[in-house]
Structure formats: C-alpha cells, structure tokens
C-alpha cells in the first residue's frame, strides 16, 4: 500500500528535498520524530548568529549550475554550490557539460557556470561538444536568464581562464543577463570561489524576493555548506618504502618508481585515481630568492618559501604585481607592454625577474607577492588488490634548459633527486571516476600511452591480474629507447605471458633513424583498432598533453572518423588522462 505524504507540497523546500524529507519523516517512529524536532530546535539556536535571508523566497527560483571539468575541481565546486543553494530554498539542477546541450539552459531562471580551462586555452575534453554548440551560430537565445561565471585556471598559462572568459562573453551575446562580473581563479581557488558562490546566491535571493543583497559569511555555515565542503583534506604523511630508477643510467631521461606506505591513512583508491603531493622547493632556490631581495638568513621566511609559496613560476601577472610593488621604472615599462611582458616570462622563472630587476623587499611583501605553492598530481601505478596498504608512483624528472640555465621541476626534481627511502611524502587521494576500468572485466580495453602515461595502466593490469578472468587488453606504449626507457619491462612481459595482457605494441622513438611514436602503431594496426572498437572496447589515452595526445587524437580521428570518436567520447568509451 502506498504511504500518504506527510509534508505539504507547499513546504518551503525544493521538490526533491520535500520528497526526501517526507520519506524520512513518514517512516520515523514517535521517539525519532521527537528527537528530530529537539535536534532542529537546538541547531537553530546555535546558528542564530549566521546571517540568513529574512524570509524564504516566495516560490523557489530555479538555478542551473553547469560545470565544465577535467580533473574534478569544478565539479566539487558545483556540488558545494548545490548544497548552499538548496539551503536557501532554490530548486537546483546541476549539469555536467559533458551530458548537456545549450538548450538545457532554456527555462531556468539563472545559470551559474563553473568552467575550467585545459590544454592551451581549451575546454575540458568531455565538455568540448557542449562548448562548441554554445559557441556555434545555431546556439539558442538565452534572454530572460541571469548568469554568472566562475572560471578556474592556472595563471602560469598564457591563456589564463580562457574558457570561462569566452563563455562569459558568449552567454551575454546570447541575450542572458550578467548578474555579476566573472571571477577568474588561480590554483588556490577555494577561498575566492567560496565567497563568489555566496555572493551570487545572495544576489539571486535578493533579486527574487526584492530584498537588498545579504552577504553571508560562508565560513560560518554549518554542515555541508560551501565553507566546509571545499576545505582540502589534511594531507597524510606517507613514508617512502621504496625508491629506485626505472630508466637506465644511460637514458636521456630519468623516471623513478616510488612506493609509499598507506597504513592507518584510511585511503582506499581505485585504478585510475591519482595522488596529490605537497611539493617542497629546492633549498638552493629558496636561498637564491631570499638573497636576491636582501632577506638572507631569514629562517622563518625560508621555511614559508620551502613549503608554502610558488617561488619558480613566472607569470605575466607576477611581473605586473612586482612592478606595482617596487615602482621600478624599467619594470613598469616592461609591465605595461603586453607583448614584451609575455615574451619576457617565456622560459623564465621568478629568480630571473628578481636578479634582472633587483629590489630589497620585506618578508611580508615577498610572501604576499608570491602565490601559494600548488600541489602536484601523480597517477597511482598500483592496485590495492595487489599491494594492500601501499601506493606506487611513477615519476619522471622534469629537466630542461632555458634562459641559459638548467631547470628542474619543483616536485619531480625534489622526489627523484632529494627524497629517499624513509622520507615522508604528504599526500591526498584524488579520485578520478572518469578514468576507471570498465565494471565488467570482460569488456576489452585499449591502453595508449607514452612515458609516465604507463602509470595507470600498470594499476589496471595489476587489478585485472588480481581479479582473474578478464577480457582482451591491448597496450600501446612509447618512449625513447628500448634498452634504457622500457618502464616496467619485466612485469609487462609477465602479463603478456600470463594472458592478463593480450596484445602489446611498443614504439621506441629514437631506436631507428626515423622517429616512431604510438600514433604510428595505431595507423599500422588500424584493422585491429576497428575490430576491438566493434567488440565494445574502451580506449584510454594517458601521458603528455602536448604533441603525444594531439597526434594520437588526430590519428584516431583519421582511422575511425570524427563522428565516431565524438560518439565514443560522449558514451565514455574514449577516456583521457593527459597532463
């Protein structure tokens, strides 16, 4: 028998919340209801200092939160915004641009877009179809809809927050009404994003019920509010239990295998996930930066620079900020000439700026000038089914020549060259639900990758080995030299022998006069590729986002056609994890 609803449909909650509350209250016993009513009364009393709208909105306004994400930051923000909006009585729908069309925005009162930029000023891969549709001439008009854009990016990139900027301009062109100026966020986006979400919701509430804008202190909201949901978890100090090179001493590149102990961390990961690592700056660079601004021997600032501040990235914005801080005429001249400024930062680091335009700074001026040290991500190259309370990482040392100096990547250089067994790495798990093995182990998989792109595939293969019976799996792996750079060679050969891996193709680019890459293998084996796709295979692509990913994608398009690749992408049978 159907149970009758307890809550009236006119209750001041969104429809789905009324249904959820009703389900709980309807089935609750008398003591449970009494407890709930006491609990809510107590909660209200303890929250009386939190600013809330004077009265709930008359009829819940509809808000669509649309996110464009690659690595999940925008999605997490969208979920936090959803929780905060519901609390204020909005009817909310959250849309992943990967599953949406521009037409889905019609009929909503307001759209809040959270958009990340990837590649070099491009939209996240799964959002490409949506992005192109919204930019196309045939995009629908969006008159009568309020909108706001929160753009996520990294100021180290020349095309900073480009996708957010373009969407912001395009929505206005399509007739939507800009509720607030766009906010462009750098890698430490949590705090500004928090306030922005709060501000947008306040504006929408005020617009809806005709009241003035109420600014809510989002740090003080309890429960699943924006304030708490966005705080990064505390990193777990994981001991390094193994650390050894995977490339030979004669290799022109260096890749290390690192194992860490997760005992007592509570971390459960899946193949495809990665770890966020807190990097540590090179002590020699910390010293050089301090010396260049006259702060030698300042131990407190040295400590802060080692673990908290980005002391290498030189962005265009940093040049402008340094010019404004120092008022050096030559620097000001450089900072106002956009072309010169962009040219100057190319291949240079902060130390090049400080040494070229030396100025004495106070410690607080220096730390305010520098952005927070962004964490780095590393794909997990193990399966917990096989390694238990441990995680393995496969890290290539970034080393290049620029502006007359040899540069080492901050995190990769630190982990490969300075960390050893027994040291600690501070890590946070970063789940990636879009780069998972298929749930059905019988589904065939095609794994394409170069260099450290092998990392998640090692996790996949360990997982399939632990699980027993599984479908066809084809690995196409590329690096420079067979003799020096065949990462995990013995394990891969074992998997081929045991049948966990059913096919293997290798492309060692520098072993013959003409360069040979993974895309060449794909072209040669187009028949096999088509046959596996016809059998329902999932295609994975992992590794460098530059030439490798671009060329592989162009070759896939050539072999199977742009429409088919788009379909595979939208049905999640083409999955990329490129960086």
Least separation in angstroms between CB 514 and ligand FAD: 23
Is position 198 an interface residue for ligand FMN (rule: CB under 6 A)?
no
Binds ligand FAD by CB under 6 A, chosen from 102, 124, 153, 409 = 409
CB burial of residue 391 (10 Å; 0-12, 13-18, 19+): buried
Asked if residues 67 and 94 have their Cβ atoms less than 8 Å apart, the reply is yes
Fill in the per-residue mask, 386 to 405: x = in contact with ligand FAD (CB under 6 A), - = not in contact: --------xxx-x-x-x---
Relative to beta strand 399-402, strand 236-245 is: unpaired
Query: By C-beta, is 157 or 357 nearer to ligand FMN?
Result: 157
* Pairing between β-strand 255-261 and β-strand 236-245 as defined by DSSP bridges: antiparallel
Q: Are 500 and 470 in contact (CB under 8 A)?
A: yes
**Binding string, 447-466, against ligand FAD, x = CB under 6 A?**
-----x--x-----------
Q: Is 425 in the site for ligand FAD (CB under 6 A)?
A: no
Q: Which one among 281, 292, 301, 312 touches ligand FAD, defined by CB under 6 A?
A: 312
Write down the least CB distance from residue 554 to ligand FMN, Å. 18
Contacts of residue 551, defined as CB under 8 A and 6 or more positions apart, other chains included, come to 517, 519
| Residue 292 touches which member of ligand FMN, ligand FAD, none, C-beta under 5-8 Å by kind | none
The answer to whether 428 contacts ligand FAD (rule: CB under 6 A) is: no
Tell which one of 118, 147, 486, 508 touches ligand FMN (CB under 6 A).
118
Q: How far is the CB of 362 from ligand FAD (least distance, A)?
A: 26
Nearer to ligand FAD, 351 or 410 (CB): 410
Residue 487 interacting partner from ligand FMN, ligand FAD, none (CB closer than 5 to 8 Å by kind): none
Question: How many angstroms separate the CA atoms of 114 and 460, rounded?
Answer: 31
- Asked if 357 touches ligand FMN (CB under 6 A), the answer is no
Stretch that binds ligand FAD, among 85-93, 128-136, 241-249, 406-414 (CB under 6 A): 406-414
Q: Using CB under 6 A, which of 108, 117, 129, 274 touches ligand FMN?
A: 117
First to last CA, the chain: 55
The residues that bridge with 401 in the sheet, in sequence order, are 406
Q: In whole angstroms, what separates CA 561 from the centre of its chain?
A: 29
Question: What are the respective helix, strand and coil percentages of the chain, to the nearest 5?
Answer: 40, 20, 40
Nearer to ligand FMN, 154 or 553 (CB): 154
Q: Tokens 């997760």 label which residue? A: 262
* Window 151-190: residues binding ligand FMN (CB under 6 A): 152-154, 157, 159-162, 187
Site size for ligand FMN (CB under 6 A): 24
Asked whether 247 and 267 are in contact (CB, 8 A), the reply is no
Count the residues of the shown chain that bind ligand FAD, applying the rule CB under 6 A.
25
307 scored as a contact of ligand FAD (CB under 6 A): no
Could you give the CA distance from residue 356 to residue 340 in angstroms, rounded to a whole number? Answer: 15
Pull the structure tokens for residue 129: 């179809």
Identify which of 151, 143, 189, 154 has the alpha carbon closest to the alpha carbon of residue 168.
Answer: 151
Give residues 54-93 in contact with ligand FMN (rule: CB under 6 A): 69-74
Q: Which helix (H) or strand (E) holds 169?
A: helix 162-173
Q: Is 376 among the residues that bind ligand FAD (CB under 6 A)?
A: yes
| Residue 121 interacts with ligand FMN (CB under 6 A): yes or no | yes
- Residue 115's Cβ-count burial label (10 Å; 0-12, 13-18, 19+) is buried
**CB of 549 closer than 8 Å to CB of 541:** yes
Nearer to ligand FMN by C-beta: 331 or 455?
455
Which parts of this chain interact with ligand FMN (CB under 6 A)? 69-74, 116-121, 124, 152-154, 157, 159-162, 187, 545, 579
């Amino acid at each position: 028998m159907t149970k009758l609803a307890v809550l009236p449909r006119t209750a001041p909650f969104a429809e789905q919340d009324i249904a959820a509350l009703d389900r709980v209250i309807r089935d609750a016993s008398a003591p449970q209801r009494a407890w709930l009513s006491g609990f809510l009364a107590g909660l209200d009393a303890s929250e009386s200092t939190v600013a809330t709208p004077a009265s709930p909105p008359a009829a819940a306004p509809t808000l669509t939160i649309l996110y464009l994400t690659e690595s999940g930051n925008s999605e997490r923000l969208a979920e936090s915004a959803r929780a905060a909006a519901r609390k204020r009585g909005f009817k909310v729908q959250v849309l992943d641009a990967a599953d949406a069309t521009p037409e889905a925005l019609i009929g909503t009162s307001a759209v809040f877009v959270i958009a990340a930029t990837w590649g070099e000023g491009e939209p996240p891969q799964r959002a490409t179809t949506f992005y192109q549709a919204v930019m196309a001439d045939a995009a629908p008009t969006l008159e009568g809809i309020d909108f706001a854009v929160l753009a996520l990016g990294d100021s180290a990139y020349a095309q900073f927050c480009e996708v957010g900027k373009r969407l912001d301009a395009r929505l206005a062109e399509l007739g939507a009404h800009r509720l607030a100026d766009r906010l462009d966020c750098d890698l430490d986006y949590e705090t500004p994003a928090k306030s922005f979400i709060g501000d947008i919701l306040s504006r929408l509430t005020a617009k809806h019920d005709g009241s003035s804008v109420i600014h809510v202190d989002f740090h003080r909201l309890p429960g699943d509010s924006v304030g708490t949901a966005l705080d990064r978890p505390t990193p777990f100090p994981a001991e390094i239990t193994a650390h050894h090179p995977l490339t030979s001493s004669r290799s022109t590149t260096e890749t290390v295998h690192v194992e860490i102990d997760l005992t007592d961390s509570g971390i459960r990961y899946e193949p495809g996930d990665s770890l966020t690592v807190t990097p540590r700056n090179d002590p020699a660079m910390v010293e050089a930066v301090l010396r260049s601004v006259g702060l030698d021997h300042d131990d407190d600032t040295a400590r802060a620079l080692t673990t908290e501040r980005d002391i290498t990235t030189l962005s265009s914005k940093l040049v402008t900020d340094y010019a404004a801080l120092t008022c050096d005429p030559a620097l000001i001249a450089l900072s106002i000439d956009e072309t010169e400024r962009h040219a100057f930062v190319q291949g240079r680091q902060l130390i090049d700026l400080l040494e070229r335009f030396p100025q004495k700074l106070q410690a607080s001026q220096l730390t305010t000038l520098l952005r927070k040290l962004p964490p780095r991500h590393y794909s997990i190259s193990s399966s917990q089914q096989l390694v238990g309370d441990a995680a393995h990482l496969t890290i290539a040392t970034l080393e290049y020549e620029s502006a007359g100096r040899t540069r080492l990547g901050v995190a990769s250089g630190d982990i490969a060259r300075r960390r050893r067994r027994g040291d600690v790495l501070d890590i946070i798990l970063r789940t990636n639900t879009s780069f998972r093995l298929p749930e059905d182990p019988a589904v065939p998989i095609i794994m394409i990758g170069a260099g450290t792109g092998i990392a998640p595939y090692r996790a996949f293969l360990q997982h399939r080995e632990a699980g027993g019976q599984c479908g066809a799996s084809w690995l196409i792996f590329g690096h420079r030299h067979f003799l020096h750079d065949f990462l995990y060679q013995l394990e891969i050969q074992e998997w081929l022998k045991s049948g966990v891996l059913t096919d293997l193709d290798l492309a060692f680019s520098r072993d013959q006069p003409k360069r040979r890459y993974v895309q060449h293998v794909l072209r040669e084996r187009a028949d096999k590729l088509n046959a596996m796709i016809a059998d329902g295979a999932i295609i994975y692509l992992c590794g460098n986002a530059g030439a490798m990913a671009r060329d592989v994608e162009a070759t896939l398009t050539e072999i199977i056609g742009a429409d088919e690749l788009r379909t595979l992408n939208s049905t999640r049978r083409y999955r990329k994890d490129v960086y």
